[in-house]
């Protein structure tokens, strides 16, 4: 029975270690065969835009674009609807493969059977 992991990352460049931890855990879980849904909220919302992850730097951490690419390759990345609206980000603006969805979808995913939810 495969477990699912839902990760909500609220931090961006404002809290780089917490941000990096969330993306790293998501990428490691995907590489381990876990079904991953990564939610970008708050300041991490900016990483849904092309090129923004490349601007993020943290010593001794994997490059954020690589982590995002690995999650997109085998998992799901979602940008929070309200967070996107507050930043005037639309579906035409985001990286290919990123969807925009709201709290109802997050709650459904987080409460699904055999699912663990983490918030960073």
Domains and CATH numbers, the chain: 4-119 (3.40.1260.10)
pTM summary value: 0.95
In three-state form (DSSP H/G/I as H, E/B as E, the rest C), the secondary structure along 59-93 is: CCCCCHHHHHHHHHHHCEEEEEHHHHHHCCCCCCC
What tokens does 48 get? 């849904």
Q: How does pLDDT run across 15-33, given as a tens digit for each residue?
A: 999 999 999 999 999 999 9
Q: How does pLDDT run across 52-83, given as a tens digit for each residue?
A: 999 999 999 999 999 999 999 999 999 999 99
Mean pLDDT of the chain: 97
């Amino acid at each position: 029975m495969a477990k699912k992991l839902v990760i909500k990352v609220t931090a961006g460049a404002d809290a780089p270690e917490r941000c990096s931890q969330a993306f790293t855990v998501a990428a490691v879980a995907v590489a381990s065969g876990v079904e991953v849904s990564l939610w970008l909220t708050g300041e991490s919302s900016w990483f849904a835009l092309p090129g923004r992850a490349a601007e993020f730097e943290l010593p001794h951490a994997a490059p954020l674009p690589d982590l995002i690419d690995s999650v997109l390759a085998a998992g799901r990345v979602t940008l929070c609807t309200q967070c996107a609206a507050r930043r005037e980000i639309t579906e035409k603006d985001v990286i290919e493969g990123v969807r925009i969805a709201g709290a109802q979808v997050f709650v459904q995913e987080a409460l699904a059977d055999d699912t663990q939810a983490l918030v960073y």
